Chains A and B, each alone.
Chain A
Amino acid sequence: MYTHLRLFFTTALVAATCLLNVPVMADEPTQHEAEKVVEGINQAEHKIEHNLEESEEKFNIGQMIMHHIADSHEWEITHGMVLPLPVILYSADRGIEVFSSSNFHNEHHEYNGYHLVHGDAETIVPVDESRVVYDFSITKNVASMLLSAVILILIFTSIAGYYKNSKGKAPKGFHSAMEVIILFIRDDVVKPNVGPKYEKYLPYLLTLFFFILVNNILGLLPGSANVTGNIAVTMTLAVLTFIVVHLNANGNYYKHLVKPDGVPVPLLLIMIPVEIVGVFMKPFSLMVRLFANMTAGHIILLSLFGLIFIFQSIVIAPVISLFALFLNFIEIMVAFIQAFIFTLLSSMYIGSAIEEHSHADHGH
């Protein structure tokens, strides 16, 4: 398997451990601590030897990329630094089961009658195949999403507090930086596209924008999860927008679906299916656009880094790193653009559904 990558990270980790000599567990007595560090180094060395033996095996870039963009039951910050996440399973016969994913770290990846399958994505399957198990684990993506939720709530409640406390003062600092974005979303995205009744949808659309933005940016950090590049996440967002649109849509919108204005009756046979397909194409395009953009960005970056391990040349590494740096800047831009586009299109869909005058937008 991707032994060179593993070799690289292990070496880096060992070097870091030796240089910094960080105490891993502060609570342990000091003699134990020293023993532990030595033990850890020995283990790492053992791993390096083991990897060297395996180094004939080819570096599989596809597998490496899939591993990095797929969801996981543990958070691998770098190789060797693994944060085990809780596994939550629900089955009709056993009820809710909660245990750490580190329990699967054994020979057969089996624990308590469950088997962790390492494919492109990790899945937990019961050993007894007749049982039906639902996996509600806090995976890497869920944990990252919770982190971004905490970040969002901390940032914006603090800004809200600022507005309460410093009334009648000129804006300054971080608050005014965020204010610019909030005003941009309100005045240039939501207001012109949703129409006069925009204030009702503003909280949802603002949250949508910042949630996508924060998750996009967190996804660019090394060792982070690819939340917005996961189809389940973008699908949920798209479906929520779909629900918001269709709960608030007025009669004109529904009438337009079954009887578009100015269309001759024979053409309705074609127009009605087209209109109805259009209804579902909107959230589908929202889902695919965000998912594909974020995943593609990660794949490009990971492919570039993979090139270093394929060429195995010290000359190629700086070139690739420079190129990856450049692409990382583009990815930062994409993070903003995709959050903006998702919010913009959501506003447009809401706007066209609640539009009062009879000649509504034809969904283009």
Chain B
Amino acid sequence: MSLLTPNPGLIFWMLVVFLLVVFILAKFAWKPIIKGLKDRENEIQGALDLAERTRAEMIQLKSDNEKLIAEANAVRDQILRDAKDAADRTILESKDKAAVEAQKMIESAREAIRNEQQVAVTKIRKEVAVLSLEIAEKVLHRELKDKEAQEQLIAELASSARLN
């Protein structure tokens, strides 16, 4: 039974030694050790966070670059398209203008032709009138030379005419 009977002297020393060990270790060992461990954990966590942040930044940067390139490409395309449009428009405009001019020229030519025609027709009419007069004069001249024929004609006319 002596094994199961606690010895008061041993309890006393145990208490003294253990409490002393707890006190000394708590003050001079556990505090710095736990602080050190925590500091290192924070450091590692900080480094990991920083790496993560840097990675995110890199991704952001990359996507920014891509966006910039895409924008630049879009701007270039736009400029090219605008230039082409402008060229097309210019060509179209010049074509239109040329067509209009041509039309105008054709119109004026037509007008001129019409005027010439008019003039020509008028001239021809005049000529025809003159010629007709001359012919008529010549015919009259010849007819009036033959008195017999004239009398016959008058007679004919007079017979045909019903005098009322």
Chain A residues at the B interface, C-beta cutoff of 8 Å = 66, 69-71, 88, 119-121, 134-139, 141-142, 145-146, 149, 152-153, 156-157, 159-161, 163-164, 167-168, 171, 179, 182-183, 186, 199, 202-204, 206-207, 210-211, 230-233, 235-237, 240, 295
Contact = CB atoms under 8 A, between A and B. Distances in A.
B6 A235 contact: yes
B37 A183 contact: yes
B122 to A, nearest CB: 117
Given A136-B9, A240-B15, 8 more contacts: A145-B17, A156-B29, A156-B30, A156-B33, A161-B32, A168-B40, A186-B37, A207-B21
Given A149-B20, A182-B33, A141 B10 contact: yes
Interface of B: 1-15, 17-18, 20-22, 24-26, 28-37, 39-40, 43
- By Cβ-Cβ distance, the 6 closest A-B pairs, closest first, are A163-B36, A203-B26, A156-B29, A232-B6, A160-B32, A232-B10
B13 A71 contact: no
A135 B7 contact: yes
Contact of A236 (B1, B11, B32, B33): B11
A119 B7 CA distance: 14
In this complex, the member of A88, A134, A207 whose beta carbon has the largest number of chain B beta carbons within 10 angstroms is A207
A142 B17 contact: yes
Nearest to A139: B10
B94 to A, nearest CB: 77
Given A139-B9, A203-B26, A204-B26, A167 B21 contact: no
Contacts of A149: 17, 20-21
Nearest to A166: B36
Nearest to A121: B2
Contacts of A237: 14, 18
Nearest to B30: A203
